[in-house]
Amino acid sequence: MAEQRLDGMRVAILVSNYFEQVELTEPRKALEQAGAQTQLVAPKPGEVQGMNHVDKADRFPVDLTLDQADPDQFDAVLLPGGVVNADALRMEPKAQEFVKKIQQAGKPLAVICHGPWLLVSSGLVKDRTLTSYYTLQDDIRNAGGRWEDREVVRDRNWVSSRWPRDIPAFNREMLALLAEWRARRSPRVA
């Protein structure tokens, strides 16, 4: 497969504290290696705390707060998981507003593990097919979505995965989705 270049694309990574670190760092690395620019967007300024499952890991600087971030300035969104992160983020009205605007514009959403909680709380999963950490399947189904137990699921402008073991498949499909979206948006040269 040819390398997918995403030069100039801007991806917002929405997190709160206690996100699953590898679900941020590995997709972020893949995006940046493909030429995309990523920005960490969080409810508060300063730093956010990563986790290695239940153990504290590294801290990361916040690039923009949810108050400062404009969804129109981004081409896509990445939602890492982590129970505490996802549960806190789903209750942030500005985070809900952000993903709703991204969805209304038909831009790509890449979400892994517990990340779909924000999509559930934003009312976006009805009639969508996705995967997640298995404990979210009832939330997704109760919100009108279809949950599948697969390493990666693509549904229109969404790509989703279950957990860190799925990151290679998640990254591959995320990059493909963004490249396809970009190709549809780019003017054709005769």
Q: Which residues are catalytic?
A: 113-114
Is residue 133 within 8 A of residue 163, CB to CB? The reply is yes
Q: C-alpha angle 113/116/122, rounded to 5°?
A: 165
SS3 for the chain, per residue?
CCCCCCCCCEEEEECCCCEEHHHHHHHHHHHHHCCCEEEEEECCCCEEEEEECCEEEEEEECCEECCCCCHHHCCEEEECCCHHHHHHHCCCHHHHHHHHHHHHCCCCEEEECCCHHHHHHCCCCCCCEECCCHHHHHHHHHCCCEECCCCEEEECCEEEECCHHHHHHHHHHHHHHHHHHHHHHCCCCC
